[in-house]
Structure 1
Amino acid sequence: MFETRKFIFLSSGQRRFVSVGLAGFLIVAISLLVMTKLRWHDLEIKALSIDLIKFAVTAWGGWGLILLYASSNSFNRIQHETKKFLYEDIPRAFGAALVKQGDALGTSVVQDGFGLKVVSENQNALTFELRNASGFSIHFLCRLNVRDLAILIFLPDAHSANYQKIYETSLSFLEDSGCKVKYMGVFGERWLPENERRMQLHIQRDVGDDFLFDAAKRTYAAQCIYGDLRAFSIRAQRGEARD
């Protein structure tokens, strides 16, 4: 289906020019109506001025919708919503990791035991450290490019030779979910102490055009990130213990 809203791209100067023009048109129409009451007393001019006011109000209604979309489709708005997803939605998904047990009153609550903190940041991306209750940690980078959500997971380099077996269930689940998963290799990470080496796995999700402005989609994606990274952390720790 043809969506004209995808072709609406207006600069701030264009928005101001059209807004001033419509405002001037409305002022002229109202002034004309006032003049028919104060001086001219012409019914035809009065009817014309009323029609012009109706047209101006209708035009303002349509222009208001265009302005709403143009502001949400602006670079600043996209950057703002991207940061909100990275800094608020993802940590919220990890912070909500509580499991209630018992009856409806919640006789006991089990803390998931995973803590999340930001290690480094760059444009449209954050690197997080995910640490469990025993102190074991892995890192992951999350990058959002409007409709593409990329996760780069940094895992112990010793797992690279046997990663398909260690992370078999997690990899199978991601592939069944339609995610693209790619083994990137082992690299020294300059943001880690002593340039420690890590195995990298790249996960890519197609989140859709309207992802940034859909709270349900953002919440779901953040919860998926939590579930995926929790599973990778548990398997990474088991792999370390096995080694």
Structure 2
Amino acid sequence: MALSDFEELLKSLQPHSLLPESLSRTDFTPLNLSVDNQELKSVDVGSVEELQKYVWQVMKLQNAKVAYGGYLEKRGIYRRSDYFNQEDPETERNIHLGLDLWIKAGTPVFSPLEGHIHSFKNNTNYGDYGPCIILEHHLNGFKFYTLYGHLSLESLIDKEVGTKIQSGEQIATLGIPEVNGNYPPHLHFQIIKDLQDYYGDYPGVSNKINLEFYSENCPDPNLLLGI
């Protein structure tokens, strides 16, 4: 399938790393948290401790410092939360729309592109983003947004809407489970074409019914990141 003009733009850009530049490509390993991963059958993915143990073990076995993946991945980890869970499998939100980077809490997060702060908020629903920042970008005739979820509370201090952000500027640090929605520490990174009047928040997980819209509105972040 041919890429759209916007997707071609994302591929053509040269972004700064989201994480410290001291990390090399060999420090990253793929992580499969889909319902099809048989290894997860023996893991209580509803427990942050058990899930973190599994994620960290995957990294240890691969001698990696970062685990990544998850775009359009159907996951079982959201069943623990009423915020996502529905009895009808058609409306249950369990298809992940961003790319996750799993690494220790406190890790600095950098803007991959120039832009400005659109909005920020602490989303406190169980299993939600926790502290979240959204940047707005205007590049090559395109307006779009990038979302950074599961941050530390300190990441929202002294933030102001409209502040200009340079490519490579540190914008946040990763939060601990107690503030990041109760997940093992990680960054949820998502690209959004139409923010639809959301402020400091945007759906990061879709149900089956709305997936066609959300997958079009939120293209694969790896088109930009190239991990």
Larger relative contact order (Cα-Cα within 8 Å, sequence gap ≥ 6): 2
Would you say same fold, with TM above 0.5? no
TM-score, scaled relative to structure 2: 0.25
Q: TM-score scaled to structure 1, two decimals?
A: 0.24
